[in-house]
Amino acid sequence: MKNTLVVLALAAAVSLAAGCRAPRRVVIRQPERTLSLTGYGEVQTTPDLATVRLKVVTRAATAAAAQESNSAIAAKVVEAATKKLGDKGKVWTENYTVNPIYKEYPPNYRYPRPEAPPVTGYETRNIIVVRTADFKLIGPVIDAAIAAGANGVDALNFSLSNPVKARGEAVTRAAQDVEAQLKALAIIGVRHVRLVNLSVGLPQQYPQPLIFGRAAIAASSAIGGPAMERPAVTPVRPHQIGVSATVSVTYRIE
């Protein structure tokens, strides 16, 4: 009996000790204070490369006929452009499509309309690209291509053959913009910071599209429109182009 009381006493003591443990310590951490900034930089520079996209569009009752006429005209356009360029540029095909032409219904057409509009013909579209660094050849190339049967010019853009230097300057200006913002924020007490993240946006080169003479919108009889009168030489005036960059940073405020 005595031994039993001892065992019970010990058990009670252990239970009491377990219930009287010190409470678990909880540490509450304050969230880090961060500051995110984005700087923008852009430089204007003179382009040294021109890219012209010529289009040859033909339509016919059958896909084969549209392709055949398009191939004949495109061959003449490529030959004329290549002859004007000589060894001062390149000519290649960028895109080529053949698509059906569906009957169009007027907005006030009474229902029911057929589930699949009937095919009235086929259109073949060929985009021919000309690239040169000799800007004096752009006008003559366009005129020669239109005379050879091209329907018009989809686009004429100017760019840089090597934009590395301009991109570096744009990134530098973007970083300077971040620095200026950080200095301005010192007025409201943001003085001690530590850089924790940095990213540079891919610098973009923005070619400036050119609006030039009527040769750009000349229509060919191949798609049913009358050819417009062309100026003797298509005028071409290159613009400066913009190269931009962004620098995004995150600081920890200490």
Could you state, in chain order, the average pLDDT of each consecutive group of 10 residues for the chain (254 residues)? 48 51 63 90 93 95 96 96 95 95 79 77 96 94 94 90 92 95 88 89 62 44 46 74 93 89
Query: How far apart are alpha carbons 225 and 215 in whole angstroms?
Result: 14
Task: Give pLDDT, residue 116.
Answer: 75
What pLDDT is attached to residue 235?
Answer: 78
**Can you identify the CATH homologous superfamily of domain 38-253?**
Protein of unknown function (DUF541), domain 2 (3.30.70.2970)
The pLDDT, as a whole number, for residue 230 is 53
pLDDT for 231 = 52
Q: What pLDDT is stored for residue 7 in this prediction?
A: 45
Question: Coil, helix or strand for 80?
Answer: helix
Which strands sit side by side in the sheet containing 49-60, from one edge to the other?
Answer: 89-102, 119-132, 49-60, 152-159
Sketch the domain layout of the chain as residue ranges. Answer: 38-253
Query: Which runs of consecutive H residues, i.e. helices, occur in 113-221?
Result: 138-148, 164-185
Task: Provide the β-strand partners of residue 97.
Answer: 125
